[in-house]
A and B are shown apart, each in its own frame.
Chain A
Amino acid sequence: MMRKRQLYLRIVLLLLATGAVSLLGGDTETRRPVWPPPPDAPRIAWQETWDQATLFSGQDGFFDRIGRFLFGRKEVPFDTPYALCITGDRAGILDSGTATLWLVDRAGGDIRPADTGRAGPMASPVAITADAAGSMFVTDSGRRQILIFDADGRFTGYLGSPVAWERPVGIACTAAGDRFWVSDSQRHQIVCLDAAGRQTGVIGRRGDGPGQFNFPGQLALDGSGRLYVVDSLNFRVQVFSPGGDFLLAFGSAGDRPGSFARPRGITVSRHGHVYVSDALSDVVQMFDDQGRLLMDFGRPGRGPGEFAMPAGLAVDGDDRLYVADHQNHRIQVFRFLGEQ
């Protein structure tokens, strides 16, 4: 009974939508949201959304989509994307809800799950990074391991000793893949590894002083090798030199721009801009390399440029920013419009 009523409702909605689109001419190009709003010069534009429908509808025709709209979606396990990385034309998306690594070929529109092979299912994958060759490195905070996948998405081995971690969370690596930084949130420290996974250094201990951490989370490297650490429960970002020396920290606990409620994802663009997502404020804030707030964008919701507990961030070489919009079950793509 309920289903039937819902079906009729959807048919009516579809007819209405068809009419509306033809009247308005479907001119979406000019209505892409930008930030900051006028009168300030726009710096960030919303580009597109990758969700269950857009990612998995590659083979569908028009009527398949109508059918899906009327009769409901086919069950596709794209649940809660938590983190992602971009390597060449490929995106690696970690779905923490289904513990799956999805490989998205952005050119061909192809999407498929990575093959964990003999490693078995992942438990709690929370961060991913890639080197220039396309190898991907995934931290599994549940299994306490770092899994390595080759460019074809096949599991090839573990980074570092399987017993080295208490709760590995963030991971970042150099483009050459010769140096890795891994945060262990339970031990409140950052570990540096070489290409073979041997530990070459450790930063920090629990505390709120410079170079100390309270549950360090996601990590990012900038073009010059500086390390950016989301120091979650100190409500700040700390920056370290390539050698691991403390450089600066910015941010504090709060509900105003420049402060953090639950800082989660971080990435640094080729321009040296630092993006930090906040899971509680539903916002992405943008800082310069000195930690000065440039702008913020996003608010709670599910429209373009709205977030539900955003998590991991990534940038590519074309000034695009990817946001794992965790509880909206999607990735949102933005473009940096330049400094003008």
Chain B
Amino acid sequence: MSRTRFIYRTLLAGLAVLLGAGLAHARIEGTAHDLRSGSGGDMCRFCHAPHLASGQRALWSRGANNRVYTPYTSPTMRAAPGQPDGSSRLCLSCHDGTIAPNQAGPGATWNNFSLSDRANLSTDLSDDHPVSIHLHAGGGIVRPASQAAVRLDARGKVQCTSCHDAHNGRYDYFLVDSNVSSRLCLYCHDPDGWDQNIHTVSNATFARENPWNTSYRTVMENACENCHRPHQAGRRQTLLKRMTVNDTCLACHDGNFGLAGNIAPAFNRISSHAAIHCDDCHASHSMVQTSGHVPPDVPATLGWIDGVTVDGIPREKADFGYEVCFKCHGENQPRRPLIGRQVMTVAVSHAFATVNPSFHPVAGPGRSQNVPSLYNGWTVTSFVECTDCHGDDEGTGTRGAHGSNFRPLLARNYETADFTMESPAAYALCYACHDRNSILEDRSFRGHTLHIVGENTPCSACHDPHGVAQQSGATPLNNTHLINFDTGIVLPEDSTGRLEFQDDGDLMGRCTLKCHGENHLEEKYDAFTIKLRWRR
């Protein structure tokens, strides 16, 4: 490079710096970052310590006289994990509660950026977005484009200056860009399924009180900040705005947005999922509001949620709704049976295995091709979803298994006690799909009326609603039609000690048992005759 060109370039660079400084100067003036005590003077020195030619002579230390402190980024200074470095030090040296605020309300602080690498985020004490961290792309994190408003520092680290431009008060909070619809967050964060997400597209606004910390007034505009706060977060690791996931969701889903999505009442019912977390079943970044879906596919309102297959294999993204339930009600999650039965199913998911002699068609089409009682659009090829039976009972705008007044989280009433008087209400759950008229007219099993009306036995005395698991000993001879006796009601036959149903073919079978004091020994029924004989 020629000497003249070098001088030319140096001059040009100097001019650029001066211009930049002048521009910064103009934008700071009058903002909160104009820290001058009067109107005149230098406003840069508050952050950019002037480089003095020499210091005071230190009376006790000759060596000190040559020292230069390194208050700002310096190539020789490397912060250890847990320490803010680079330009963030400048911000935090004032935003510590003395010169500038470090809080927004009791208990909220924002000067404890105690962590500086992703590996440590799980033990982070900070309630703020971490700074001085290297950005690791992948897993929902992307590197912002080089010309993007959000930038990493020269060493590729996220700093306060990634989102805030201390020199420019054009946007609220000195942000580098408007954060409408979380534009800033999305430079680095790219959650799966975000674009169609209800929390990204909804124009809904609150009915009662403002749940947001921003100046935006719709769900769509708040986007990430519907649930997260970059500073003063309630739950530190995930920067949720409240202490728990459920509290965060319920900040809006409590009727504040009208009837739809009002989950709070369901959680107060007798039987509810209030004790688990909303994000056990819902992936809030990818939930899509749809009018319907085709069972057994996973409803889009759950989002891209993980699950466990009917065979007990975990999967990152559930295909079927029941796979979400099997995360807790599946393999290795022994159930607490409410009713003692002949064949005791270990896990709920076992009951729905398609190898079983009978099962409700949740994980596969049902076995029986002759179910005369089905109505309301249900056929032998229909799929049933867990939430058809286990769901909110009051129909107040929410569907799904949030809470119910009927145990165990049933969508309708379902009596299981012996000597229950038959009524539409007593077995409302069953009668939702199985026509009561058909049952009471004995169009399938000829002894239905005799048993449930004549003897006041509940459906559950003979039928095990989930299915009878082959794995637990169910056989095609003894456990078709969901037959699996309630051993608290149905006892072994006195003379033989046997308790057994035997399938003899379509609408035919025989029972050996004792019920309500009466012994049946190989008591046969078929499509025509048994009804009369039993009705003696």
Most buried by A among B59, B83, B99: B99
Which residues of A have CB within 8 Å of B84?
A: 308-309, 327
Complex formed: what's the CA distance from A281 to B68 in Å? 9
What 0/1 pattern do residues 57 to 85 of B give for CB contact below 8 A with A?
11111111101111110000101101110
**Chain B residues whose C-beta falls within 8 Å of the C-beta of A288 in the assembled complex:** 59
> Does B137 have its Cβ within 8 Å of any Cβ on chain A?
no
Complex contact B98–A169 (CB within 8 A): yes
| A123 pairs with B58, CB closer than 8 A | no
Look across to chain A and name the residue whose beta carbon is closest to the beta carbon of B67: A257
Q: How far is the CB of B415 from chain A (nearest CB, A)?
A: 49
Question: Is residue A253 within 8 Å, beta carbon to beta carbon, of the partner chain?
Answer: yes
- Say yes or no: B55 contacts A214, CB within 8 Å: no
B103 touches A142 (CB 8 A): yes
Give the contact stretch, choosing among A22-30, A62-70, A290-298.
A290-298
Contacts A80-B111, A233-B37, A327-B83 given: A126-B97 contact, CB under 8 Å? yes
Neighbouring A residues of B140 by C-beta, 8 Å: none
**Among A143, A217, A234, A308, contact of B37 (Cβ-Cβ < 8 Å):** A234
Which one of A206, A233, A254, A280 lies within 8 Å of B52 (CB-CB)?
A: A254
Give the segment of A93-101, A104-112, A238-246 that binds chain B: A93-101
CA distance A26 to B452 in the complex (A): 85
Contact A281–B70 (Cβ < 8 Å):
yes
Least CB distance from B124 to A in Å reads 10
B98 touches A141 (CB 8 A): yes
Residue with the greatest number of chain A CB neighbours at <10 A, chosen from B46, B69, B98, B106: B98
Contact yes or no, B50 A254, CB < 8 A: yes
Counting CB contacts under 8 A, is A75 at the interface? yes
Q: Which of A9-17, A35-43, A128-136, A190-198 contacts B (4 or more CB under 8 A)?
A: A35-43
Judged by a CB distance under 8 angstroms, whether A175 is at the interface is no
Contact between A294 and B60, CB atoms less than 8 A apart: yes
Alpha-carbon gap, A169 to B92, bound state (A): 16
B89 sits at the interface (CB 8 A): yes
Residues B82 and A36 in contact, CB atoms below 8 Å apart: no
Instruction: List, in ascending order, chain A residues with CB within 8 A of B89's CB.
Output: 279-280, 309
Nearest B residue (CB) for A72: B123
On whether A123 and B60 interact (CB within 8 A), knowing A259-B55, A280-B93, A309-B89, the answer reads no
Judge if A258 is at the interface, Cβ distance under 8 Å.
Answer: yes
B502 at interface, CB cutoff 8 A:
no
Residues of chain A in range 278-311 having any CB-CB distance to chain B below 8 Å: 278-283, 286, 288, 292-296, 300-302, 308-309, 311
- Interface size for B (C-beta < 8 A) is 60
**Any B CB within 8 A of the CB of A155:** no
Chain B residues, CB < 8 A from A301: 80
Q: Does A124 contact B (CB under 8 A)?
A: yes
Let me know if B35 and A214 touch, CB within 8 A: yes
Choose among A97, A214, A234, A296 the residue that contacts B67 (Cβ–Cβ < 8 A).
A296
Chain A min CB distance to B47 (Å):
9
Contact bitstring B488-531, A, C-beta under 8 A = 1, else 0: 00000000000000000000000000000000000000000000
Is A275 among interface residues, defined by CB-CB distance under 8 A?
A: no
Q: Is the CB of B125 within 8 A of A36?
A: no
Cβ-defined contact, B54 with A308, below 8 A: no
CA distance A217 to B93 in the complex (A): 12
Quick one: closest A residue to B60, CB to CB? A295
A97-B111, A255-B51, A255-B69 known; A296 vs B93 contact (CB < 8 Å): no
Q: What residue in chain B is nearest A327 (Cβ atoms)? A: B83
Are A82 and B96 closer than 8 Å at their CB atoms?
A: yes
Main secondary structure on chain A at its contact with chain B?
Answer: loop
- B35's partner among A125, A169, A215 (CB-CB below 8 A) is A215
Closest residue of A by beta carbon distance from B49: A261
Q: In chain B, residues 419-464, which have Cβ atoms closer than 8 Å to a Cβ of chain A?
A: none
Query: What are the residues of chain A within 8 A of B99 when measuring CB–CB?
Result: 185, 215, 217, 232-233
Given A256-B55, A327-B83, A40 and B63 contact (CB-CB distance below 8 Å): yes
Report the separation of the CA atoms of residues A2 and B46 in the bound assembly, to the nearest whole angstrom.
43
Assembly CA distance A41 to B119 (angstroms): 45
Contact status B58-A256, CB under 8 Å: no
Q: Indicate if B202 sits at the interface (CB-CB under 8 A).
A: no
User: Which listed residue (B51, B65, B69) contacts A278, Cβ 8 A?
Assistant: B69
Q: Pick the contact of B57 from A233, A293, A326 — CB < 8 Å?
A: A293
User: Which residues from 87 to 103 on chain B have a C-beta closer than 8 Å to any C-beta of chain A?
Assistant: 89-90, 92-94, 96-99, 101-103
Complex interface: chain B residues within 8 A of A207 (CB):
37-38
CB distance from A3 to the nearest CB of B (A): 10
B103 contacts across to A, CB distance below 8 A: 123-124, 141-142
User: B45 interface residue, CB < 8 Å from A?
Assistant: yes
Q: Which residues of B contact A255 (CB under 8 A)?
A: 49-52, 68-71
Which residues from chain B contact A286 at a C-beta distance below 8 Å?
60
In the bound complex, what is the Cα–Cα distance between A39 and B94 (angstroms)? 37
Q: Most chain-B Cβ atoms within 10 A of its Cβ — which of A77, A256, A259, A288? A: A256
Decide if B45 touches A293 in the complex (CB within 8 Å): no
- Give bound CA distance, A253 to B83, whole Å: 24
Q: Distance (Å) between the CB of B44 and the closest chain A CB?
A: 10
Q: How far is the CB of B257 from chain A (nearest CB, A)?
A: 30
Give the residues in chain B near A43, CB-CB below 8 Å: 60
A166 to B37, CA, bound (A): 17
| Nearest CB in chain A: distance from B375 CB, A | 54
- B105 on the A face (CB < 8 A): yes
Q: Write the chain B residue with the least CB distance to A232.
A: B99
Find out whether the CB atom of A257 lies under 8 angstroms from the CB atom of B64.
Answer: yes
Please, what's the 1-or-0 string for A258-286, where 1 marks a CB less than 8 Å from any CB in chain B?
Answer: 11011010000000000000111111001
Q: Is the CB of B77 within 8 A of A36?
A: no
Q: How far is the CA of A255 from the CA of B38 in the complex (A)?
A: 23
Known A123-B108, A296-B64: A328·B83 in contact at CB below 8 Å: yes
A82: min CB distance to chain B, Å: 7
Contact with A along B270-281 (1 / 0, CB 8 A): 000000000000
CB distance from B438 to the nearest CB of A (A): 57
Closest residue of chain A to B80 (Cβ to Cβ) is A302
* Complex-state Cα separation, A169 to B84, whole angstroms: 23
Cα A325 to Cα B409 in complex, Å, equals 54
Complex Cα distance, B96 from A233, in Å, reads 14
Contact A296 B125 (CB under 8 A): no
A212 is an interface residue with CB less than 8 A from chain B: yes
**How many Å from the CB of B23 to the closest CB on chain A?**
22
Contact with A along B125-136 (1 / 0, CB 8 A): 110000000000
Tell me which of A79, A143, A264 contacts B106 (CB under 8 A).
A143
Known contacts being A123-B107, A233-B46, A302-B83, is A96 close to B55, with CB within 8 Å? Answer: no
Distance in angstroms between the alpha carbons of A36 and B54 in the assembled complex: 19
Bound-state CA distance A272–B107 (Å) is 38
A96 contacts B109, CB within 8 Å?
yes
Query: A279 to B108, Cβ gap below 8 A?
Result: no
B94 partner residues in chain A, CB cutoff 8 A: 262
Please indicate the chain A residues that have their CB under 8 angstroms from the CB of B37 in the complex: 188, 206-208, 212-214, 233-234
Known: A142-B97, A261-B49, A327-B84. A308 touches B79 (CB 8 A): yes
Q: Is the CB of A124 within 8 A of B90?
A: no
- Which residue of B49, B51, B55, B126 contacts A257 across the interface (Cβ within 8 Å)? B55
Q: How distant is the Cα of A141 from the Cα of B98 in the complex, in angstroms? A: 7
- Provide the residues of chain A in CB contact with B67, threshold 8 Å: 256-257, 296
A-B pairs, top 6 by smallest CB distance, nearest first, are A258-B56, A256-B55, A97-B112, A36-B61, A280-B71, A281-B69
If A36-B60, A327-B114 are given as contacts, then 7 extra A-B residue pairs at C-beta distance below 8 Å, sorted by A number, are A43-B60, A169-B98, A255-B51, A293-B56, A302-B80, A309-B83, A309-B93
